[in-house]
Structure 1
Amino acid sequence: MTTPKPATDTIIRQQEEVKNSLNFADTRDLDDAANNLIGTRRLNVVTNANDDVVWDNDAYSFLQGSAPNEANPSLWRQSQLTSTNGLFRITDGIYQVRGLDLSNTTFIEGETGIIVIDPLTSLETGAAALQLYRDHRGEKPVKAVIYTHSHADHFGGVKGMVTQDDVDSGRVAIIAPEGFLAHAVVENVYAGTAMSRRAAYMYGAALPRGERGQIGAGLGQTVSTGEVTLIAPTDTITSTGDTRTVDGVRMEFQMAPDTEAPSEMLVYFPNHKALCTAEVTAHTFHNLVTLRGALVRNPHGWAKQLTQTIDLFGGRADVIFGSHHWPTWGRDNIAEFLTQQRDIYAYVHDQTLRMINQGHTGPEIAEAMVLPPALGQAWSARGYYGSLSHNVKAIYQRYLGWFDGNPSHLWEHTPSGRAKRYVDLLGGVDHTITAAQKAFDSGDFRWAAELLNHAVFADPNPNNNPSNNTNERARALLADTYEQLGYGAENSTWRNFFLSGTTELRTGNFGTPTATASPDMLAQLTPEMLFDSLAIQINGPAAWDVRLAIDVVVTDAVPAAATYRVWLSNGALVYTTATPQPTEAELTMTATSRQLTALAVYGPDPEKLRAAGVVLEGDTTALERLGGLLDPGDPNFNIVTP
């Protein structure tokens, strides 16, 4: 592997400007992150049943002292904070484990047991966190698990803390906001392959940990790579003001849908005067659209929800804690923090729309946007996870879509098509590289990246021909360019994307190290979700002239058993429960909803479906024909090369 290169003089000067522009003398976050530490794991490394490492916080031990030239000082400070790990006391009866995953998990002590809030991403880290708590607080049984929202890093570790039998028997309640299950499953299945591939870039999964590599992810250090599990909720919160009492612990809920997640809620504990803000707040400007890809979030609604939070709990809470980062103590500090969090979403939303209505495009607004000094200097409003630049573009996308109104952008050539034409215009790849080298040497890395991206896409060298020296020069210089852009980035996900691009250009495609569409996730698909997940895999052109009709009888559908007709129509897989149907089905499948999900796990394999309990009657070659039309995603698609 090519040794990472040092920062250039341009980047070194930029880092000095950051040091001089922000208030590094403010140590309140450092104090809060270290406050009330009870104990740590001697080695903060977690392995799975095969002894593979799925979490290693000790790999970040290099995060000491001042930032090196190869890391933005602001991001370095944030990574020092997020790498802090151990069991912490938030207040009497509330304890939190941090630094065992991207997210936090919190334990609320009741009369006889504990309530768990957000059991981390994977079974292995969830189990390790529970054990750390029990090592210091005793063997208290879990009475309930609360999922604050529908992202995998807040429920995936549930089976490391409780079992399905615990829940089925009624010993443990699973409490979640309305819409949780559908959103949790859909986000990780429908576009899961593409999201996982891009998430590998976003979290720097293939990058070495170190001063010139991955130093963190803004919300935490990275995502654990163990088994993602899921147990369906048994109790759904539907309205702000809903209350529950579990094991003597009183809880009040605030619904916050379509903020950081489409299904999300906050939890207030009146006896403790403590508020869990889920991921509606964090010590960063959060993403309005993630670089891994997702639906654009609603900053206007987000700000309104935070205003309601302040109204409901601002004068009642003595401490607030979230699903990421460290708590904030004291009502004055809480008021300041919640106000800054609310105002960053409101200000950027409103000002982006103001400039949209003046005719500016997303990239133009992103360059022009300046925060008021009170927000620009607030550590909790810095763009460690959601940058000001890409959040502005997300707002533009939310309101106006991908098209900026310029007709020349309405029907552009593909990236490779444009690249060939630009490179030809510039006089060939050699001339393009020369111009890019000039930009690189002058410190204009953004222009160098654009030129070199054209050079690589115009001459991709698909067979990795070592004699293609021109292509190798373009790739090498583009790798160097991305590296410098990564070193300068304050946003963790930008750094990880740039340095991941460097890695692939230098060493080859590293694929997708992690995936969230686990068997537990697939097992929660409703019949409609299942049919939709198959439909998006159909190779349309291959299915144009194929005739296929299958009846699916779901025996446990509510309120009564339902029969779905699933068929191909002009290359599209569609379904309905309406009757009668114009043609006879070739095959009838009968199963419970859970049995039917074997289709997602194993595919349309008759023997495996029968083994899962699915009854097949009729022509099973229909399943073979369906299987022949499925075109599953490619988890290793190229990103920085064609």
Structure 2
Amino acid sequence: MRHDPLFERLWDGSAPMEEWTSAVSHGAITKVSDNIITVHTTYFCGSVTAIRTTEGLVLIDTAKPDTASRTLDIVRSWDDSPIHTVIFTHGHIDHTSGITVIDAEADARGLPRPRIVAHRNVKRRMDRYEASHGFNSIVQGQQFNMPGYVYPIGQRQPDMVYDDALSLSIGGERIELFHGRGETDDATFVWLPEQRVLASGDFVIWVFPNAGNPRKVQRYAAEWATALRRMQQLRPSILIPGHGPVVFGAERAAQMLGDGAEPLEHLVGETLALVNRGATLNEVLHTVKVPAATLDKPYLIAKYDDPEFLVRAIYHFYAGWFDGNPAHLKPARAADLASELAELAGGADKLGERAAVLAKTGQLRLALELVELASAAAPDDPGIQATRAAVLRQSIEAESTLMGKAFLAVYARDAEERSKG
């Protein structure tokens, strides 16, 4: 199958992913082979792949709550067979929560609910989401600017789990599952050897690897790279990413997999080299960078996660939470430190004024440090909060990643509210 013109423009970087998202927004089918389709509804929802077998359909992932019904309708426009098995590539809700809609359809048709197959850690993830439900709701609401958001929990858990690898034979189709750690510790990539089709899950997402989210649990850059290399060795003819369009052709699939592994290997290697010499986190963060040529590749643009966030996560994985600054081993209360520095500066307003000057000269990191100290020293001062809001808005404009913008915006909204007095 040949790629369409939009894909070619995505591949060469002349079209943004937003154009593809708009094109598939009403639901779109990509024909992978005579018995396999992939359904897309938006970039932000994981792809759903349907495999036709003599025992019924096998689905790889299920979509998220607001797109699950539409996704199932699209699958049904292609094949109305019972759904025999659902494979979760990992436990994130944009890949798992559609099972509720699928189960409801089976119940309405008087059919058995499909078997769910996943890595063993998916259950542990779902249990953790219930234990930290309040926190997850807060973080997701902040990251996507949805005040009052309630994280969905309680969806059905896997019926069959595996540890390292699992081979399934369903209705004449051989389906192999392999575990790897990357964005999550419960990730699966799916290999159909007879058709040389690889469904990567979120190991491939058409942006720079999401291995450094500031408010999520530990992610695994080194093992992500290992998984990508393992997929590359399979030599797939077709690559179905967890997010974004399907990639046809062995050469392009190998290129995307290899190019995804290289920056992860680079970041891990450079970070470890500094850690092994006793460097502090601050030194590591300001030294380790991804080569610009890597970030110029259309499917590795640092648009969602920031490579600097990955460096921090890599440091944490190997070196723990202590950043090498003795003052941070048992830190003073932030408000106490801010009050002392404000006193030395001649008042919290002086810190705010200096932050404004620094921001105007483009020194936004330093400006943000000072204005947050001013805010901690005088949290109810409307003038300082107005300055803080301005510095944060400038920082958002300068930030290239959606994740960075989202978390900065949380505090910009807080400052704007406080500036009203």
When residues 395 and 181 of structure 1 are mapped into structure 2, their CA distance, relative to the original with a 3 A threshold, is: same
Report the counterpart of residue 243 of structure 1 in structure 2: 167
Deviations 1:376-426 (A, max 9, x none): 332333322331111111111111122233323323212212111121111
TM superposition shift of 1:251: 0.7
Once the 2 structures are TM-superposed, how far is the Cα of residue 178 of structure 1 from its aligned partner? 2.4
Match of 1:259 in 2: 182
- Please say if 1:204 is aligned against 2:128: no
Aligned residues: 410
1:456 maps to 2:375 = yes
Q: Does 1:272 align with 2:198?
A: no
With 346-355 and 98-107 compared, the bigger mean Cα shift is at 98-107
Query: Is the CA contact 2:55–2:170 (under 8 Å) kept in the aligned structure 1?
Result: no
Match of 2:41 among 99, 119, 124: 99
Q: Which residue of 2 aligns with 1:16?
A: none
Which structure's relative contact order is higher, taking Cα pairs within 8 Å and 6+ residues apart? 1
**Counterpart selection for 1:139 from 80, 93, 103:** 80
**In 2 relative to 1, CA 104–139 (structure 1 residues): closer, same or farther, beyond 3 Å?**
same
> What is the letter of the counterpart of residue 290 of structure 1?
N
Name 1:31's counterpart in structure 2.
7
Relative to structure 1, the CA distance from residue 290 to residue 83 in structure 2 (aligned partners, 3 Å threshold; closer, same or farther) is farther
Counterpart amino acid of residue 255 in structure 2? E
> Tell me, what secondary structure is at the counterpart of 1:276?
strand
Greater Rg over alpha carbons, structure? 1
Q: Which amino acid aligns with 1:125?
A: T
Please name the residue that 1:351 is paired with: 270
Higher helix share: 2
| % same residue | 21
Partner of 1:284: 207
Task: Decide whether aligned partners of structure 1 residues 508 and 152 sit closer, same or farther in structure 2, where only a CA change above 3 A counts.
Answer: farther
Provide the C-alpha distance between the structure 2 equivalents of 1:327 and 1:308, rounded to a whole number of angstroms.
Answer: 19
1:385 touches 1:493 (CA, 8 Å); kept in 2?
yes
Matched residues in 2 for 1:246 and 1:375: separation? 40
Taking a change above 3 Å as real, the CA distance of residues 99 and 418 of structure 1, as seen in their structure-2 partners, is farther
Q: Distance in 1 between matches of 2:272 and 2:332?
A: 29
The 2-side partners of 1:29 and 1:365 are apart by 42
Structure 1 residues 357 and 420: CA distance shift in structure 2, 3 A: same
Query: What secondary structure sits across from 1:385 in the alignment?
Result: coil
TM-score normalised by the chain length of structure 1: 0.59
Instruction: Give unmatched runs, 5+ long, in structure 2.
Output: none
Q: Are residues 1:432 and 2:316 paired?
A: no
CA separation of 1:28 and 1:260: change in aligned 2, threshold 3 A: farther
CA contact (8 A) 2:212 2:307 kept: no
CA contact (8 A) 1:344 1:375 kept: yes
Q: 1:126 — aligned with what?
A: 68
Distance 1:131 1:168, change over 3 A: closer
Pairwise CA distance, 1:428: 0.6
Which residue of structure 2 lines up, in the alignment, with residue 182 of structure 1?
124
After TM superposition, give the deviation of residue 192 of structure 1 in Å.
Answer: 3.1
CA distance in 2, matches of 1:34, 1:130: 27
1:325 aligns with 2:244: yes
2:16 corresponds to which of 74, 77, 87 = 77
Distance (Å, rounded) in 2 between the aligned partners of 1:432 and 1:306: 47
CA change 1:414–1:395 in 2 (3 A) is same
Q: In the alignment, does 2:406 pair up with 1:496? A: yes
1:119 Cα deviation after fit: 0.9
Over 3 Å counting, the alpha-carbon distance change for 1:264 and 1:33 in structure 2 is: farther
Please point out which of 357, 363, 370 is paired with 2:289: 370
TM-superposed CA distance for 1:340, in Å, is 1.0
**What SS does the aligned partner of 2:286 have?**
helix
Relative to 1, partners in 2 of residues 1:404 and 1:497: Cα closer, same or farther, differing over 3 Å?
closer
**Cα 1:291/1:422, change in 2 over 3 Å:** same
Q: How many Å apart are 1:155 and its aligned residue?
A: 0.8
Question: What does residue range 196-235 of structure 1 map to in structure 2 within 5 Å?
Answer: 196-206=137-147, 228=153, 230-235=155-160
Amino acid at match of 2:116: I
